[in-house]
């Protein structure tokens, strides 16, 4: 979210600098700023792990799907579970110490 605020401030200053008067800038600025806001979250890709990014482990009891259902790649296996380390992009950002409120 912090990055968006910096970008929108820059776009607003750009519009104000190239507008012929303050009224025109006040009318155009909300239209231009709202276009990126409409697409927030639409172009966010799903997390897909490459083959070398999977972690393998043995489940405690039962199948892999019973042990970690949200992260499983091969859910029907009962040994050597193949797990993607990330369920969402936020999981990856946590490893970089970037909090969720900083990116939206």
Residue 16 vs residue 91, higher pLDDT: 16
pLDDT band at residue 96 under the 50/70/90 scheme: confident
Predicted local confidence at residue 72, as pLDDT: 65
Check if the beta carbon of residue 20 is closer than 8 Å to that of residue 51: no
pLDDT of residue 3 exceeding 80, the answer is: no
Q: Where are the domains of the chain?
A: 2-38, 51-103
| Per-residue buried b or exposed e for 26-42, using 16+ beta carbons within 10 Å of the residue's own CB | eeebeeeeeeeeeeeee
Would you tell me the crossing angle of helices 22-38 and 2-18 to the nearest 10 degrees? 150
């Amino acid at each position: 979210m912090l990055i968006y605020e910096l970008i929108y401030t820059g776009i607003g200053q750009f519009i104000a600098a190239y507008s012929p008067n303050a009224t025109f800038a006040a009318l155009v600025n909300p239209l231009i700023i709202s276009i990126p806001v409409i697409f927030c979250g639409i172009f966010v890709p799903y997390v897909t792990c490459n083959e070398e990014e999977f972690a393998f482990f043995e489940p405690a009891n039962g199948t892999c799907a019973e042990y970690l259902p949200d992260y499983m790649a091969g859910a029907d296996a009962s040994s050597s579970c193949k797990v993607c380390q990330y369920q969402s992009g936020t999981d990856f950002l946590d490893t970089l110490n970037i909090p969720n409120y900083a990116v939206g």
